[in-house]
Each structure stands twice: as C-alpha cells, then as structure tokens.
Amino acid sequence: MSDQVHVCLREEQDKLWRVFHSHKNEMIVTKSGRKMFPKLEYVVRGLSPNKLYAMMLHIEQADDSRYKFSSGEWMKSGKAEQHKEPKKMWHADGVRSGKEWMATPICFDRVKITNSVDSTNASMIFLHSMHKYNPVLSIYESPSESPLCIPQPSTRLVTSVRLTYTEFIAVTAYQNDNVIKLKIEYNPFAKGFREGSQGDRKRNSPSADESTTDESASSPQPKKQRNESISPPMIPRVSPSIIPHPNFHPFLYTLPYLSQFAAGGLPPTPFPFPLGFPCFTPLQYPVSSNVKIEQKEQDQEEIEPEINVV
C-alpha cells in the first residue's frame, strides 16, 4: 500500500521550498510561537477512496549537530542539545476518507514553532534554536470514525514522508540576508522587514517629546456629561375676558404711575434692593380656577418627557 501512495507539496509551495532550501532556509522561533513560511501544504495521491485515514505531522532533528552562522554561511559548531521525542500534531480535520483527503491540499497552517520549553499550547512545537529540523508527514489508516485519532494497535501506519528540501534551521533572528530578502519578497506578512515600514509606524505614533508636553494626547479625557435640557419659561394661558388691555404681553413690565411719586408714595418693591430703588413691577391680573387647572396639566406635560427610563 505504501508503494502506491505518493506525497508531494502543492506546486506553488514546492517551488518556494526549493528556492529557500538553496540558501539554507531559516525559521523564526519565539516564546509566543511563530507560523512557518513557506507553508506545509501536502498533496496526497494513491489512497483508497473508501477507507478512513488520519494525517499526523511532527518535526524531527535532521542531525545531532548544533549550527552557527559565520562568514556568510552556516557551519557545525558542536553537539546538538539533548532532545525529547518529537511532538505529534494530528490534522484538525480528524478522520476522513481517502477520497476527501485527496480532493484538496492538506495544510498544517495552525502549527506554530516555539523556543519555550514550558509551552502547553496544543498547536505549538518546541524547537531548539540553531538546530536543523525537517517536517515529517505520517499517514495512518483508521479503524473507526473517531473525531480524535489516537494510534491504537489496530491503527496501521501507511507511510511517513520527509522531503529533503523542507529542512530548515531554527533561529531567534534571521542570519542570512538572502533568506531575509526571500521572506520579504514572498511572504505577505513580513511587514517588519520591509523598507520604511518601521519608520512609518514611528511617525504615526507620538514621540517622547509630544507625550510629555501634550497631556491631551496621552491622557484619557473624561466623558462629557450630558447637559440637562432646559425647558422654556411657561406662560399661562389666560382667557381674553380677564385681560384689561388688548396689547398685554406677559414679559412687559410697567413703571409706577407718576402720580404716586408726586404724592410721596412709593409702590412696594417685590425684591429687596440695598438702595431702595423702586424696581419694575409686573402687571397683576386675576387668574381664574380654570386657568390654574390648565396650567397644572401643562406642567405635567412638560415634566414627563424629562423622565429618563433606564
């Protein structure tokens, strides 16, 4: 069965891996994890269409040497760190028929590589920096449609494939300038290495001087309180029958009669003034009980819209 199964990379990714391999490919490892580029997108042929399979990926050390980059090239610099058994990552699609696996490329784009030995993230694979690795795809024939494929005595290994041109050296920072240029050219997410990208980000962010001189740019501003609505002054609706003058206006005030000044009498002042100067006195008109009722109803109509419902 294994002789009939053929595994390769998707054509576009296959070309990229070969180009990077000619310069000894490098992969960044971080504590938070980093996805690999180029991607691992396998194309499988020769599976039985009606049988069930599960795909597993692990990354094994290519040799027992540690590497260093010197004088523009990679060279061995000693014995490799002691490594444990490689972590096995089952494909997220679980168990599928051979027909389904062969219909589309098998991509392990969720896998991340890290240099944090204490990482418990299920999608991360621990790698030693300055060591050479090679991804390995293993295909298992599954006896059942279990969503979580766990190797059992009845689970049969169909084949394991390691491609020599998918080797890479794990690094915490790229060493070869040629690899950096290839990452910039082909990886759309390599923004940190593009010319001018870091300068643009610095220009967009406030400088240290601006942050110290302009507090409004750095300190959050308190929320503006909503101004309470102010209703216009209410004017009572007065019946025309009780208005003595046709030109009456509620905001017009009259001065006291001159005859009162002549007689030596002053009208009562409604507001206390320190000098006792007579102020303007509004005209007083009797208001009937009907007007008071209408005014009370109008007060209720004006107040109700101001109630806030939470």
Tell me the pLDDT tens digit for each residue of 228-244. 444 455 555 545 554 45
Task: Identify the CATH number of the domain in which residue 185 sits.
Answer: 2.60.40.820
Residue 252 maps to a domain: no
Per residue in 179-214, pLDDT (tens digit) is 999 999 998 877 655 554 443 333 333 333 333 333
Residue 300 maps to a domain: no
Residue 222 maps to a domain: no
* % of the chain residues with pLDDT over 70: 56
| pLDDT number for residue 35 | 94
Rounded CA separation 98/134 (Å): 25
Residue 237 maps to a domain: no
pLDDT of 115 > 70? The answer is yes
Per residue in 50-68, pLDDT (tens digit) is 999 999 999 999 999 999 9
Q: Could you tell me where the DSSP H helices lie in the chain? A: 11-21, 98-103, 177-186, 197-204, 208-213, 215-218, 258-262, 289-303
| pLDDT number for residue 84 | 82
Contacts for 12 with CB less than 8 Å, ≥ 6 apart: none
pLDDT of 113 > 70? The answer is yes
Judge residue 93's burial from the number of C-beta atoms within 10 Å of its C-beta, 0-12 exposed, 13-18 middle, 19 or more buried.
middle
Residue 308 to residues 17, 85, 299, 304, Cα–Cα distance (Å): 65, 66, 17, 9
Contacts for 208 with CB less than 8 Å, ≥ 6 apart: none
What's the distance, CA 157 to chain centroid? 41
Token pair in block for residue 274:
């320190």
Residue 94 maps to a domain: yes
Residue 304 maps to a domain: no
For residues 129-145, one letter each, b for 16 or more C-beta atoms within 10 angstroms of the residue's C-beta and e for the rest, the string is ebbbbbbbbbbbbbeee
Could you give the 3-state DSSP secondary structure of residue 109? coil
Total number of domains constituting the chain: 1
Residue 294's pLDDT band (boundaries 50, 70, 90)? low
Residue 134 maps to a domain: yes
Rounded CA separation 125/107 (Å): 16
Q: What is the DSSP string of 162-184?
A: E-GGG-EEEESS---HHHHHHHH
Please, what is the average pLDDT of the chain? 74
Domain holding 186, by residue range, is 6-191
Residue 144 maps to a domain: yes
